[in-house]
Amino acid sequence: MDESWKKAKGVFAALGAPPVLWLLAFFLVPLAIIWGYSFGENKSLTEIAVDGTFRNYLHAVRPLYLGIILKSFWFAALTTLFCLVVGFPVAIAITFASDKAKSWLLLLIMLPFWTNLLIRTYALMAVLRTEGYINFTLAFLWNGVSHLTALFGHPLGPFQPLELLHNNFAVVFGLVYVQLPFMVLPLYAALDRLDRSLLEASLDLGAGHFTTFRRVVVPLAMPGIVSGILVTLIPSVGAYLTPDLLGGPSSQMIANVIERQFKTANDWPFGAALSFLLMYMTFLAIAVQAIVSRNRRGRER
């Protein structure tokens, strides 16, 4: 059946052509145009001449922009690390939950996707700002303790709200919040495939839970860990909305700079060059990862 399906080239073409054309017309062509712009320069307000210049790229690797790119990678790496640390126990909990609880927990993980990112980010602002829920709760507790200590003649003094918003902390916090489901789902998928008797065998052979986790669970869940890291890291590097709304002036990421080139600065060629610089770096990271994993697999053979 599937053999003849492959041989029926007409059917294959009919089914395959629409998505291919779609991707070609609305993804690859615009991407190629932007790529072309990255080698061009502004002639007038609306005219760009693609003259093969590398000026934009030279501009982009100046310390100012390179610093922002590096910071973007640093934020993304921190985000990925926190997602991994927070997500692994969550994924384990879902894996070992009862079948009924499992579907509810998975629903909870996916629930944020049903709300627009913008709304979720504003909600996070309401939580983090100086008059937000966290500071409100802290102030309440502070005042309570203060009343108590006042009884012994040592009041704590007025509460100083924590500055949780518009700084680097807020950006990484927001990114972890947004990216966490993308880490949990591949981890869960990998853990769920794991044969439970392997864990029992490890315990049976005298290993404790931590040793079992380190020697059996982590190595066997490695494909899930790697894909979780990739799908968390890559979108985090290019995150735009979160640093824009939650970040302060010094916590801008590369996507915010790119946005400014296309909008306020009206320097499309430079914006294009920055975009593609980011893309080259991401491709490079994925290629290195692929080569490393292929070499490792090759050695195991």
Partner 1 sequence: MAAPKTIIRFENVSKRYGKVLAVDDVSLSIDEGEFFALLGPSGCGKTTLLRMLAGFETPSEGRILIDGEDISRTPPNKRPVNMVFQSYAVFPHMTVADNVAYGLKVDGVPGAERARRVEEALGLVKLDGYGARKPDQLSGGQRQRVALARALVKRPRVLLLDEPLSALDAKLREAMRSELAQLQEKVGVTFLFVTHDQDEALAMASRCAVMNRGLLQQVATPSDLYEFPNSRFVADFIGSVNLFEGRLEVDEHDHAVVVSPELPTRIYLDHGVTGAHESTVWVALRPEKIELHKRGQGREPPVLEDTPGGHNVVPGIIRQIAYLGSESVYDVAVEGGRTVKTLRSNLTRRDQEDFTWDEPVWLAWHACSPAVLLS
The residues of the shown chain that bind partner 1, judged by CB under 8 A, are 195, 197-198, 200-208, 211, 215-216, 219-220, 300
Residue 111: which residues within 8 A CB-CB, separation 6 or more? none
How far separated are the first and last CA of the chain, in Å rounded? 34
**Any bridge partners for residue 71, and if so which?**
none
Least distance in Å: CB of 98 to partner 1?
A: 12
Nearer to partner 1 among residue 193 and residue 263 (C-beta): 193
Least distance in Å: CB of 201 to partner 1?
A: 4
Spatial contact of 29 and 19, defined as CB atoms under 8 Å apart = no
Distances (CA, A) of 112 to 65, 69, 109, 119: 33, 28, 7, 10
- 206-208-212-214 Cα dihedral, nearest 10 degrees: -130
Least distance in Å: CB of 185 to partner 1?
A: 23
Least distance in Å: CB of 214 to partner 1?
A: 11
Tokens of 284: 């490079």
Please state, in angstroms and rounded to a whole number, the distance separating the CA atoms of residues 184 and 189.
Answer: 9
Nearer to partner 1 among residue 48 and residue 189 (C-beta): 189
Bridge-based pairing state of the strands 48-50 and 40-42: antiparallel
Nearer to partner 1 among residue 207 and residue 279 (C-beta): 207
Distances (CA, A) of 35 to 47, 51, 211, 301: 16, 12, 49, 41
Least distance in Å: CB of 190 to partner 1?
A: 13
Tokens of 144: 């309570």
Least distance in Å: CB of 224 to partner 1?
A: 14
Nearer to partner 1 among residue 76 and residue 190 (C-beta): 190
Spatial contact of 251 and 171, defined as CB atoms under 8 Å apart = yes
Nearer to partner 1 among residue 51 and residue 200 (C-beta): 200
